Structure 1
């Protein structure tokens, strides 16, 4: 009996099963034909959402031994080089060998539907590859599961964030308490804190680093779970090893850190311009405090939901984006009322100052770092 199990394990060690692996996604490659220009232009949702036809420019030679995979969500008419090629039925899966299209260097594929709204879905390039259970005659070395990056992310991100917050709480308990004092949202007042007067003191820098790490982790989680994936998350090779994901997170962390530091100099410049003396340090502190409080709750909520739905299910973050916009709008009102109570500034100057500064965040700030695919 033991000999039977040994031979069974050896057989499984060299046995694989066919699986379709996504090589490329065309989410950002869609074009629309403009009659006035007699050419194709990039698809812009605000201008071309209701166009009846959308097109793709495909170079079959770039994807040898691959297939154009189509998962239609509606009944589409598919045109190839302007000629009707096939009628696609909703719910079915179609795969066209790229090698069969390689006679042309460039092909224009057009999807037509009379009631087409937005982009048709879903068009990818896939390869039929073997998912090997074991490698190099070692039948105990199993291949990494597809959910491994998902699990590793939660383990490393939560441990890193808990380490930063634990260090802040152990070394500077009063600073930790002040930054996580949610009662300030109810009182709408500014308490005079010693560390407000030194924006780049060590505890503030630690808070700045923690907030930057939180931002980068949110950006990775949104990219990993979103439907509209960018180039990094569309490439499955980036998840074979840990280093590409770490590089992505640390690059976002560095951008966030520079963004938050530069905000202080922007505050200082504009408060001096609007004659709002003494507001720069307070605004900088309150900005860090509110962002840390809100994005901690947001990250925790998204993490719980992502764990609940599992690693294979995508999440539509458009509603979360509206929540973030709502937070920044409410924060504008909160800052205006709080600063008005604590300082004797002209209301008009304070209003215009906050309108400019807080508006920059919605258009060019932390929101774009976390949700680049929705901008």
Structure 2
């Protein structure tokens, strides 16, 4: 993905042996970290002449099929997304294929940092295009303009509107189903092994109250999946359902994902009824389903809020599938062990039967889900 050479001429070309036409010069795009502001600010010669680390965002998605060219006059280091990638030797050009970078990082842009001698003149960073062997040399002038599309994320508006929508649905349930809301979102009630079977929530799992809370959980999971997609991560919804890049298409995708999630959650209760009947666990089915809903509401609501807060307060966070799959895997395994304890305390059943039942309704769907996620 990279090779090196020496030399540069700004009148005929750039890079190794002047073999590249410059597409964009990052000379005026560099940023430095300001301790006072706790954020990255534009590089100003008068203020930041002694800075040794200069950073900038590289738009990979808009510059496919081009190359990234890097050179420093003194030895330095290259960081991508805050991770050290290689040492830069003085006077040497390093050429990176942007398509390869895009395939490796799976992000529309990366955060690049050049560390070395202080000052801006020591560092050269370009996006370039190789010259054709049959083309005549093109004389380049320093007053050329580089016109690039303004980068923006269509997801930003939806994520804000989605949070307002979720706040409204939770407020509605809290106001009109106050007693049920307090039970579903009670950690103490969740950890209680002996839930009263005559409870209005447990005894009637398909009541309108329970169905509304299941629908609200579907909205939370749908929002979480769209948020994951906005970070260019291929988890569960790797293909864009509608393929559009407008706010209307994303709202449509959110509705579809939420609807599918709602059908899966309701279908799970029917599966519990069928499989529970085979293992003669009818008395534990409703409590099992109630505990699943309780734990899922608490976990996914907290996870969504944490991810949103982290994304809005951190600009250089590195998102990856493992960052999201790890808490999900831990949650499902802990919930599986907890459900075993709950049902074991309710039913005089052999461990082998109970373990087989939980494998079918909890562990096997988890394994299948991880298979599609990865």
TM-score by length of 2: 0.59
**Structure ID, larger Rg:** 2
**Would you say 1:68 and 2:76 are equivalent positions?**
no
**Would you say 1:358 and 2:362 are equivalent positions?**
yes
Secondary structure in structure 2 of the residue aligned to 1:196: coil
How far apart are the structure 1 equivalents of 2:303 and 2:285? 27
1:129–1:252 distance in 2 versus 1, CA, 3 Å: farther
The answer to whether the 8 Å contact 1:225/1:314 transfers is no
1:360 deviates by 2.9
How far apart are the structure 1 equivalents of 2:224 and 2:295? 16
The answer to whether the 8 Å contact 2:190/2:294 transfers is no
1:271 deviates by 0.4
Counterpart of 2:162 in structure 1 is 157
**Would you say 1:282 and 2:287 are equivalent positions?**
yes
1:148 deviates by 5.3
**Would you say 1:215 and 2:228 are equivalent positions?**
no
**Would you say 1:174 and 2:179 are equivalent positions?**
yes
1:362 deviates by 1.0
**Would you say 1:253 and 2:258 are equivalent positions?**
yes
Unpaired runs of 5+ residues, structure 1, are 1-17, 21-64, 76-88, 97-110, 112-118, 133-144
How far apart are the structure 2 equivalents of 1:212 and 1:275? 30
**Would you say 1:232 and 2:240 are equivalent positions?**
yes
Residue from 330, 352, 367 that aligns with 1:326: 330
1:344 deviates by 2.7
Counterpart of 1:197 in structure 2 is 203
1:67–1:322 distance in 2 versus 1, CA, 3 Å: closer
Secondary structure in structure 1 of the residue aligned to 2:205: coil
How far apart are the structure 2 equivalents of 1:283 and 1:244? 37
How far apart are the structure 2 equivalents of 1:251 and 1:123? 25
1:1-375 counterparts in 2 under 5 A?
A: 67-69=64-66, 92-94=95-97, 120=104, 130-131=148-149, 146-147=152-153, 149-150=155-156, 152-192=157-197, 193-228=199-234, 230-232=238-240, 238-239=244-245, 241-310=246-315, 315-365=319-369, 374-375=373-374
1:209–1:178 distance in 2 versus 1, CA, 3 Å: same
How far apart are the structure 1 equivalents of 2:107 and 2:66? 6
The answer to whether the 8 Å contact 1:190/1:342 transfers is no
1:244 deviates by 1.2
Unpaired runs of 5+ residues, structure 2, are 1-22, 26-61, 70-79, 87-92, 109-126, 130-145
Moved more, 329-338 or 191-200: 191-200
TM-score by length of 1: 0.59
Secondary structure in structure 1 of the residue aligned to 2:295: helix
1:298–1:19 distance in 2 versus 1, CA, 3 Å: farther
How far apart are the structure 1 equivalents of 2:104 and 2:163? 37
How far apart are the structure 2 equivalents of 1:238 and 1:321? 26
Deviations 1:181-224 (A, max 9, x none): 10135433333321222222111111111111111111011111
How far apart are the structure 2 equivalents of 1:225 and 1:199? 36
1:364 deviates by 3.7
The answer to whether the 8 Å contact 1:180/1:289 transfers is yes
Secondary structure in structure 1 of the residue aligned to 2:65: strand
How many residue pairs get aligned? The number is 258
1:131–1:67 distance in 2 versus 1, CA, 3 Å: closer
The answer to whether the 8 Å contact 2:222/2:258 transfers is yes
1:340–1:222 distance in 2 versus 1, CA, 3 Å: same
Instruction: Name the Cα RMSD after superposition.
Output: 3.7
1:228 deviates by 4.8
Secondary structure in structure 2 of the residue aligned to 1:203: helix
